[in-house]
Amino acid sequence: MHLAYPVVLSSLLFCTGLYGVLARRNAILVLMSVELMLNAVNLNLVAFDVWLSKAADETLHSGQALTLFTITIAAAEIGIGLAIVLAVHRNRGTADIDKLRDTAEGHETDGPEGPDEATGATDPAEQTEKAEATA
Amino acid sequence: MTTTTLAVLVPLLPFLGAAAGLLLGRTAPGFVRPLAVLPPLTAFALAVLVAVRQGGDEAVDAATQLTPTGSVPVELALHIDGFAALVAVLVGLVATCVQIYSTGYLRDDPRYPSYAALVSLFTSAMLLVVYSGDLMVLLVGWEIMGICSYFLVGHYWETPEARAASLKAFLVTKLGDVPFLIGLFALATDAGSFRITKILDTVASGGLDHPTLIALLLLAGVAGKSAQFPLHTWLPDAMAGPTPVSALIHAATMVAAGVYFVARLLPVFQASAAALVVLAVMAAVTMTGSALAALAQDDIKRVLAYSTIGQLGYMTGALAVGDRGAAVFHLLSHGAFKALLFLAAGVIIHAAGTNSLAAMSRMGDLRARVPDAYWTMTVALLALAAIPPFSGFFSKESVLGAAEHAATGHAEHIPGAAGWTVLVAGVLTALLTAAYATRLWLLAFRGKGAEAPDHGRQPRTMTVVLWVLAAPSLALGGLAYGRLPDWFDGDDLAPTLTTSVLGTGVALAGGLLTYAAWRHTTAAAARTPLGAVAAHPEADAATVEAEAIASHEPAYGDVASAPDPADPGRLLLGPLHRHAAAGFHLDAVYTALFVRPVQAGARLVRFLDREVVDTYVHGAGALPRLLGTAVRRAQTGNVQTYVSALLAGTVVLVVAALLVAAGA
């Protein structure tokens, strides 16, 4: 088989992954896209290993060995990544990357409580009224 | 053991005691008291032994060099003549009494271990100064005393007065020590050695090149240490320390060191007539000024502090007329009765619950509360006022006799002006001394009014030492004036008729005048109630004293005086009273001359640093900060934006690499 087929396939996979990472909003889909990109790289590794081993007298198949490492590490990575996404979802009620902007410059209040506090602070008279009503 | 070994042990034992006390103070509290009392006691016994062996004969000299120290060698040297032997006995006696007294006075004090260790260190430093035959070694003891006085005066550091007083004592004495150090170097350069014997040989052969300069530089250090005008202001403020410390500083250690130093190197000072005149004027101003100030003080300890300054004035006066025998004689008798006065004052402050004489004069039966302090203080005050046959009479008369001797031109190398200055100031001060001694006695013990508060029986340790010290106050002068010349230079110390009659006469006049003034004003005392009393029947004396010191200013408006119309000193001094109570505003002068310029300088430096230097620094930081603000805008928090930027960068780099590779 010519080297071009797996290389084209892997670049298509990589581009799909890249698009997913850049464009998707759901964190889980972003993680899946990252997996796609990793697998594209794995495919490249295997393909080039086979192509190179044809020419060489002796080979260690180090490309394929490296692929095994990558798969293992990708499994661990996706485990941790999913756990983080799950924790974030439990905390924030959303896994939307666009809304997780806590690291932005000038970001003061954290989470969805911020606006609530702000409205509470702007209207203390209403709060005291409520307190009186409950009393 | 040889005399040299004994003499080495004398300063060494209190030093070891101090080190052990500091190390064991926390872990073994049971050893603190023995460690505080026994080393000075042993040192005292050894000092007596050294004095007996030395016997006023040829001076004991011993020296060893630890290591070569460059051009002028520094040696560990002993030089024990009659002066050193006797002064060491006095130091040992007073230090032992103070340590025994402190066990009672500070019996509940949590900081007693470090206190006792510092007192031992203080004693050891003074003994080093006394025995040392090398000026550099002497300077070591001299400076250790400075730092010990700082720590001990600041013992009640919870009160702001004590903190300020300890800093002031340290800074003022250091102000004198800087010229002192330069003077020592100049002296050693001229003489080629720090050894006292060699320096005295050089002086005897006329080898000093700049005697006036050296003498004046050394005098600055002496004035600081011995509290002479104009560097005396630290001493009255140092009364914020515990009473036993005041007794130690005033009687035997700190202030005696300056006088003793001049006595040791008197030939150096005698080589310059100008230095002697300066010394005489300094002594005269010191003694009259301090005696006037003593008459106006309200704090019983401040009266005694100013009296110490005055008595030191007598000693420097005796030195100015070239009679160091009289100076050291007065140092010895003054050491005994001034230690007694302070320790008795401590007992009185404890019993009365106040340090204010105005408050004491409104207390009945104070003397019945403290019979030991009453009788011993009476003896000591009579000695202070130089009434025969108490010891102060003989020593003061020897000073006045020496001054008369010099004034009439019988002394060689001594300017007659110095003699006259000391004589006139001395007689005037004798009058004032008797006046303030009488005032102190009348106000403290002859008060009328409500009964004094009961603080319980005084501890035996505090009363026994009073009687121990009362013996030399009573009898030292009369017994010793005939024998002391053998120990000293051989000059006659017996009182001469003219000065005795004159001195005793003015002293009696001063006493009677004060008594008359007191009789005149005492009726007013009942009309103006006054007084604040710190009553702690259970607490130890130190607690009562610390509170009395801290409450004096809130209660009477001033740390030194009280608005008491019944004060005989007010009647005697008239319009001068206000100035005398403030120490003739010398502190204000110092504030204007030194404190304000230094503070203004500090403000200027602060301005230059904050406004000038910092402006450049901030300016240099402005551009990076601007760039940072711009770059920070890229930080949107959206991870996908970052990755897009990363991708774009990669693409640009790849394209660039390809173009370069293609050779375009």
Domain co-membership, A12 together with A42? yes
The domain spanning residue A9 has which CATH number? 1.10.287.3510
List CB contacts (< 8 A) between B643 and chain A. 21-22
Nearest to A101 among B632, B633, B637 (CB): B637
Mutation target among A11, A14, A19, A21 for the B interface, most CBs of B within 10 A: A21
Q: With contact defined as beta carbons under 8 Å apart, do B210 and B279 qualify?
A: no
Top residue of A11, A15, A22 to mutate, by most chain B CBs within 10 Å, is A22
Residue B648 C-alpha, separation from nearest chain A C-alpha, in angstroms: 12
Angle made by CA atoms B384, B387, B392, in degrees to the nearest 5: 45
**A66 falls within a domain:** yes
CB contact under 8 A, B647 and A97: no
Higher pLDDT, B471 or A33: A33
Please answer yes or no on whether B636 and A98 come within 8 Å at the CB atom: no
How close is the nearest chain B Cα to the Cα of A128, in Å? 37
Question: Quick check: A105 and B635 CB within 8 A?
Answer: yes
What's the gap in Å between the CA of A18 and the closest CA on chain B?
A: 9
Mutate to test the interface with B, among A33, A103, A107 (most CBs of B within 10 A): A103
Dihedral of the alpha carbons of B608, B610, B614, B618, in degrees to the nearest 10 = -150
Q: What phi, psi does A2 have (nearest 5°)? A: -70, 150
Beta carbons of B638 and A97 less than 8 Å apart: yes
CB contact under 8 A, B637 and A23: no
- Report the pLDDT value the prediction gives residue A16, as an integer from 0 to 100: 94
For chain B, the farthest-separated pair of C-alpha atoms sits apart, in whole angstroms, at 124
A40 close to A17: Cβ distance less than 8 angstroms = yes
Largest Cα–Cα distance in chain A?
90
A95 and A135 in a common domain: no
Residues A77 and A120 in one domain: no
Q: Residue A106: inside a domain, yes or no?
A: no
How far is CA B271 from each of CA B205, B279, B357, rounded to the nearest angstrom?
11, 13, 46
Do A105 and B633 lie within an 8 Å CB cutoff?
Answer: yes
Taking only the tens place, the pLDDT of each residue in B503-542 is 888 888 888 888 888 888 777 666 666 666 666 666 677 7
* Residue from B560, B571, B564 nearest B518 by CA: B571
Chain A residue with the nearest C-alpha to that of B631: A105
> In chain A, what residues touch B636 (CB-CB under 8 Å)?
101, 104-105
Domain range enclosing A74: 4-100
Residues A94 and A116 in one domain: no
Q: Give the DSSP H or E segment for B451.
A: strand B450-451
List chain B residues with CB under 8 Å of A105: 632-633, 635-637
A53 CB-near residues (< 8 Å, 6+ apart): A59, A61
Quick one: how far is CA A96 from the chain centroid? 11
pLDDT tens-place string over residues A43-78: 999 999 988 888 888 888 888 999 999 999 999 999
C-alpha distance from A22 to closest chain B C-alpha (Å) = 5
Choose the closest CB to A97 out of B639, B644, B647: B639
User: Do both A16 and A38 map to the same domain?
Assistant: yes
Q: What are residue B276's DSSP bridge partners?
A: none
Low-confidence ranges of chain B (pLDDT < 70): 56, 411, 452-456, 524-539, 557, 559, 664
Same domain, A65 and A120: no
Q: How many helices (H) and strands (E) does chain B have?
A: 30, 4
Residue with tokens 């106040």: B354
At B322, list the tokens: 């070239």
Q: How many A×B Cβ pairs under 8 Å?
A: 32
* Dihedrals phi, psi of B70, to nearest 5 degrees: 90, -150
- B91/B130 Cα distance (integer angstroms): 9
| Pairing relationship of beta strands B76-80 and B363-364 according to DSSP bridges | unpaired
CA-based nearest residue in chain A for residue B645: A22
Say how far apart CA B286 and CA B280 lie, in whole Å.
10
Q: In whole angstroms, what is the distance from residue B250 CA to residue B226 CA?
A: 9
CA of A29 to nearest chain B CA: how many angstroms apart? Answer: 13
Contacts of B482 (CB under 8 A, 6+ apart): B494
Reference B467, options B378, B599, B382; nearest CA is B378
Numbered residues of chain B with Cβ closer than 8 Å to any chain A Cβ: 632-633, 635-640, 643-644, 647
B80: enclosing H helix or E strand:
strand B76-80
- For residue B202, the surrounding DSSP H or E stretch is helix B196-204
Q: Is the ipTM of this complex over 0.85?
A: no
**Which residue is closest to A103 within chain B, CA to CA?**
B637
Q: Which residues of A touch B (CB under 8 A)?
A: 18, 21-23, 30, 97-98, 100-107
**Å between B657 CA and nearest CA of chain A:** 20
A41 with A78, same domain: the answer is yes
Cα of A83 to nearest chain B Cα, Å: 18
* pLDDT per residue as tens digits for the range B206-226: 777 888 888 889 888 888 888
Q: Cβ B638–A21 below 8 Å, yes or no? A: no
How many Å apart are CA B94 and CA B266, to the nearest integer?
A: 25
Q: Which of B632, B635, B638 sits opposite A98 (nearest CB)?
A: B638
Residues in chain B: 664
CB contact under 8 A, B643 and A98: no
* Strands annotated E in B190-235: none
- Closest listed residue to residue B567, CA positions, set B621, B591, B531: B531
Per-residue 3-state assignment (H helix, E strand, C coil) for B126-168? HHHHHHECEHHHHHHHHHHHHHHHHHHHCCCCCCHHHHHHHHH
Chain B residues touching A103 at Cβ < 8 A? 635, 637
Based on the domain organization, do A26 and A46 belong to the same domain?
yes
pLDDT of A86 > 50? The answer is yes
Examine the domain organization and report whether A59 and A118 are in the same domain: no
Q: Give B614→chain A minimum CA distance, Å.
A: 27
Structural domain contains residue A105: no
Is a pLDDT exceeding 50 seen at residue A121? no
- Our CA angle for B38, B42, B46, nearest 5°, is 170
The total domain count for chain A is: 2
Question: Residue A46 domain-assigned?
Answer: yes
Partner-chain contact B637 A97, CB within 8 Å = no
Contact list in A for residue B635 (CB cut-off 8 A) is 103-105
pLDDT in tens, B223-278: 888 888 888 888 888 888 888 888 888 887 888 888 899 888 888 888 888 888 88
B355 backbone dihedrals φ, ψ, rounded to 5°: -105, 10
Residue A135: the pLDDT is 46
Quick check: pTM over 0.80?
Answer: no
Whether A88 and A122 map to the same domain: the answer is: no
CA angle B434-B234-B275, nearest 5°?
Answer: 80
Measure in Å the smallest separation between the Cα of B647 and chain A Cα atoms.
9
Q: What is the pLDDT of residue B527?
A: 66
To test the contact with chain A by mutation, choose from B627, B636, B654 the residue with the greatest count of A C-beta atoms within 10 A, namely B636
- Inter-chain residue contact A22 with B633, CB threshold 8 Å: no
Flag whether A116 is in a domain.
Answer: yes
State how far the alpha carbon of B72 is from the alpha carbons of B65, B69, B184, B216, B611, in Å: 12, 7, 12, 22, 48
Residues of A in contact with B632 (CB under 8 A): 105-106
Q: From the list A22, A104, A107, which residue is nearest B644 (CB)? A: A22
Helical residues (DSSP H) of B389-496, grouped into ranges? 391-407, 416-445, 460-480, 484-487
- Which backbone phi and psi does B493 adopt, to 5 degrees? -110, 5
Q: Does A10 share its domain with A49?
A: yes
3-state SS of B354-395? CCEHHHHCCEECHHHHCHHHHHHHHHHHHHHCCCCCCHHHHH
- Phi/psi for B378 (5° steps) reads -60, -45
Question: CB–CB of A101 and B638 under 8 A?
Answer: yes
Strand, coil or helix: B647: helix
Does A93 lie in the same domain as A30?
A: yes
Does residue A42 lie in a domain region? yes
CA distance B641 to B628: 19
The three-state secondary structure class of B492 is coil
CB contact under 8 A, B632 and A105: yes
Residues in chain A closer than 8 A to B628 (CB atoms): none
CA B547 from chain centre, in angstroms, equals: 22
Is residue A24, in this structure, part of any structural domain at all?
Answer: yes
DSSP state of B63: E
Phi-psi region of B365 (alpha: psi -120 to 50; beta: other; left: phi over 0): left
The letter for the amino acid at B59 is: A
Do A104 and B647 count as a contact with CB atoms less than 8 A apart? Answer: no
